[in-house]
Amino acid sequence: MKLTLKIWRQASREAKGRIESLETPEISSHMSFLEMLDVVNESLERAGKEPVAFDHDCREGICGTCSLMINGQAHGPWAGTTACQLHMREFKDGDVIVIEPWRARAFPVLRDLIVDRSAFDRVLQAGGYVSVNTSSPQDANAMPIRRADAEAAMDAAACIGCGACVASCKNASAMLFVSAKVSQYAHLPQGQPERMRRVRAMVEAMDAEGFGSCTNLYECEAACPKEIKITNIALMNRDWRRSLCEEEL
């Protein structure tokens, strides 16, 4: 099949961007979305034109770098799926596909479809870790953890930091991402000593990066390729309020 791609092109962070229309060569329905972009770039290079810059790494739905808005949806039309896991059989011959980068003040466009998501890294550096000296590794059964807590922590830890929650939110809020990184430790005994300091530091870092506020539209949960739940936001808000009370005392 052949498609028409309307792709955002931007030469640099300072340059003015534009939508460019491209006709694809013959595309197999068995290709992934990123493989389709590879074929398009090969055809552009053969024609002596500049290929489209886009982020990718594992192509297995793990790393979160394939950050694309596809027809106005983060990662495309499949729920619980990253762009690299999206296949061309989802589209029909002759379709027009609009491909854009994430849109958020905290995620500036670097080139074409690549955005700078280092704001997430700085939020994690503020507290997304356990720094308490735990000495030698403990036996797996030495520290009992309720199954419900272990599963909640694992569900939160599934966040791959792709930024779909930010890109899909009208306020460009990072609450789902930050709450997932807070919750994965809040459910475990190893995370308790620094629990209040962690949530306060990460929320302050999130605000300093210029992310917007949460207004409970739930779009972040709907767009998340790992289906992180907004119940994590509720937990983070409770802990944040507790941390402020403890600070006053």
Residue 246's pLDDT is what? 77
Each residue of 145-176: b (16+ CB within 10 Å) or e? eeeeeeebbebbbebbbbbbbbbbbebbbbbb
pTM: 0.93
Q: 16 and 58 share a domain?
A: yes
Q: 234 and 160 share a domain?
A: yes
Residue 137's pLDDT is what? 67
Q: 104 and 168 share a domain?
A: no
d(CA 165, CA 79): 13
Q: 167 and 94 share a domain?
A: no
Q: 143 and 170 share a domain?
A: yes
Last residue of a domain, one of 80, 111, 142: 111
| Half-sphere exposure (Cβ direction) of 248: Cα atoms closer than 13 Å | 6
Asked if 68 and 76 count as a contact pair (C-beta separation under 8 A), the reply is yes
Instruction: For residue 59, give the CATH number of its domain.
Output: 3.10.20.30
The strand pair at 114-115 and 69-70 is best described as: unpaired
Last residue of a domain, one of 79, 111, 143: 111
Instruction: Count how many domains the chain has.
Output: 2
Q: 154 and 203 share a domain?
A: yes
| 238: Cβ contacts below 8 Å, ≥ 6 apart | none
Instruction: For residue 158, give the CATH number of its domain.
Output: 1.10.1060.10
Q: Of 131, 213, 143, 145, which is closest to residue 178 (Cα–Cα)?
A: 213
For residue 124, which phi and psi values (nearest 5 degrees)? -65, -40
Question: What range defines the domain where residue 175 resides?
Answer: 118-248
Match 């389709």 to its residue by tokens.
36
Q: 57 and 166 share a domain?
A: no
Q: 123 and 90 share a domain?
A: no
Q: 77 and 159 share a domain?
A: no
Q: Of 170, 172, 65, which is closest to residue 117 (Cα–Cα)?
A: 65
pLDDT by residue for the chain (249 residues), tens only, comes to 999 999 999 999 999 999 999 999 999 999 999 999 999 999 999 999 999 999 999 999 999 999 999 999 999 999 999 999 999 999 999 999 999 999 999 999 999 999 999 999 999 999 999 887 766 767 767 778 899 999 999 999 999 999 999 999 999 999 999 999 999 999 999 899 999 999 999 999 999 999 999 999 999 999 999 999 999 999 999 999 999 987 655
Q: Of 95, 93, 90, which is closest to residue 78 (Cα–Cα)?
A: 90
Q: 123 and 240 share a domain?
A: yes
Q: 101 and 128 share a domain?
A: no
Asked if 102 and 44 count as a contact pair (C-beta separation under 8 A), the reply is no
| 90: Cβ contacts below 8 Å, ≥ 6 apart | 76, 77, 78
Residue 161's pLDDT is what? 97
